[in-house]
């Protein structure tokens, strides 16, 4: 017993000694990194810049966070950064956990922090105020870009432009003339997306209508499948989605109907059902933002871009699509890329709070910020609560 005790104590002391001796070393490393990051005097270069990312999910969602992570990887390759220069935090909830994540990234010596979920807003802004030497970039938010702080930015893409093109494929394909849309929340980003999808379909098929159902969750594979089934049972024969899983397209395939994907190329999940997918390329902005920090061209505090810049796109028209789809999409793409607004009159819609929008021919609705604000439900769309 005593021998055992002696051995254990010896082992513990060994651990303690080694631990103590290595601590200062670790500390020094940390301090060096802090100097790199915190001191404005030292110039940032491709070799010393360190960038932190905060994601609401992880790559396993195959959706929103997945595309962000892919964008990060692409940015890293484009700029030739090393793995050590990218620090990522996954599954960070929209509360004090976000603050903790930001602090940990700062401790790790990050010079720039990107947050990718809407609810990080207040925490990102507070951190930007407290750490003027670090750049903060918040996707889909509204506060940072409006704050007037030099180190706080917002960015988001005109995903509705890609949705409009996908809608064209749906409008040409539908036989029942009823589209279905599985969407997470009655949130502007979702509503502007399905409105654009419907407007695209209507541009090639004036008789088309659309049913929309909410899942009230960003990622719930079971619920998304149930909602998709309900829409199919209600007569919808082309579905699309704004949620994080592939349930909608796989349910469509199982029922022998069609679907347009979102976030990533969902033809991989349901090759017989998917017409096209609206996709993101977040690296388009990430590269610009990091380049600006390295002394490159200035980027607006609230940045948005669409099809022309390659921030959003649709995947290649598949064989499942109706004839003439590729041509119709190419034509619309040209129009949009030359400056035409997707939300152009005549449009009539009513928002949940009763406010109405009535755009006449020739009038258009321009999003004031990068984050969508369109919350009107236009005629022809039925929201099933």
Site residues (vs another protein, CB under 8 A): 1, 5, 8-9, 11-12, 15, 18-19, 22-23, 25-27, 30, 52, 83, 87-91, 93-97, 99-101, 103-105, 107-108, 118-119, 122, 185-191, 216, 352-353, 371-373, 375
Q: Name the nearest CA neighbour of 259 among 274, 244, 241, 271.
A: 274
Dihedral sign computed on CA atoms, order 299, 305, 309, 310: positive
**Nearest-approach distance from CB 43 to another protein, in angstroms:** 24
Lookup result for tokens 């949705």: 163
Nearest CB to another protein, comparing residues 188 and 329:
188
Nearest CB to another protein, comparing residues 103 and 358:
103
The CA distance from 314 to 333, in Å, is 10
Nearest 5°: the CA angle 231, 160, 382 is 30
The CA distance from 132 to 124, in Å, is 12
Contacts of 147 (CB under 8 A, 6+ apart): 125, 128
**Nearest-approach distance from CB 234 to another protein, in angstroms:** 23
Full DSSP string of 346-359 = SEEEEETTS-EEEE
**Nearest-approach distance from CB 71 to another protein, in angstroms:** 18
Cβ atoms of 44 and 51 within 8 Å: the answer is: no
Nearest CB to another protein, comparing residues 230 and 369:
369
**Nearest-approach distance from CB 216 to another protein, in angstroms:** 6
**Nearest-approach distance from CB 12 to another protein, in angstroms:** 5
Cis geometry, peptide bond prior to residue 58 (ω within 30 degrees of 0) = no
Give the max Cα distance, the chain: 92
**Nearest-approach distance from CB 369 to another protein, in angstroms:** 10
Beta strands 51-54 and 86-89 are parallel
Nearest CB to another protein, comparing residues 99 and 292:
99
């Amino acid at each position: 017993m005593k021998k055992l005790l002696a051995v254990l104590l010896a082992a513990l002391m060994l651990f303690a000694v080694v631990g103590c001796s290595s601590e200062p070393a670790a500390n020094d490393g940390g301090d060096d990194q802090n100097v790199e990051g915190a001191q404005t005097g030292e110039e940032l270069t491709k070799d010393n810049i360190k960038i932190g990312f905060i994601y609401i999910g992880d790559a396993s969602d195959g959706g929103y966070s997945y595309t962000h992570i892919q964008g990060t990887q692409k940015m890293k390759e484009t700029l030739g950064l090393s793995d050590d220069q990218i620090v990522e935090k996954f599954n960070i909830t929209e509360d004090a956990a976000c603050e903790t994540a930001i602090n940990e990234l700062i401790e790790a010596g990050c010079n720039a922090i990107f947050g990718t979920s809407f609810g990080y807003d207040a925490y990102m802004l507070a951190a930007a105020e407290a750490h003027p030497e670090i750049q903060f970039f918040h996707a889909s938010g509204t506060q940072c870009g409006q704050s007037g702080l030099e180190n706080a930015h917002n960015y988001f893409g005109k995903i509705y432009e890609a949705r409009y093109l996908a809608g064209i494929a749906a409008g040409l394909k539908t036989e029942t003339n009823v589209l279905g849309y599985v969407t997470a929340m009655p949130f502007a980003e979702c509503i502007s997306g399905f409105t654009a999808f419907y407007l695209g379909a209507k541009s090639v098929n004036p008789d088309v209508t659309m049913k929309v159902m909410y899942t009230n969750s960003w990622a719930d594979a079971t619920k998304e499948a149930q909602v998709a089934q309900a829409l199919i049972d209600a007569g919808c024969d082309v579905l699309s989605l704004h949620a994080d899983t592939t349930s909608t397209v796989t349910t469509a395939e199982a029922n022998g109907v069609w679907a347009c994907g979102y976030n990533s190329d969902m033809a991989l999940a349901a090759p017989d059902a998917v017409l096209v997918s609206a996709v993101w390329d977040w690296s388009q902005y990430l590269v610009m933002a990091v380049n600006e920090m390295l002394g490159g061209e200035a980027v607006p505090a609230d940045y948005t871009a669409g099809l022309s810049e390659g921030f959003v796109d649709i995947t290649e028209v598949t064989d499942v699509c109706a004839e003439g789809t590729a041509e119709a999409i190419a034509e619309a793409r040209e129009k949009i890329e030359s400056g035409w607004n997707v939300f152009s009159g005549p449009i009539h819609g009513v928002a949940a709070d009763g406010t109405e929008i009535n755009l006449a021919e020739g009038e258009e609705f321009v999003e004031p910020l990068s984050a969508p604000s369109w919350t009107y439900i236009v005629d022809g769309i039925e929201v099933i609560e």
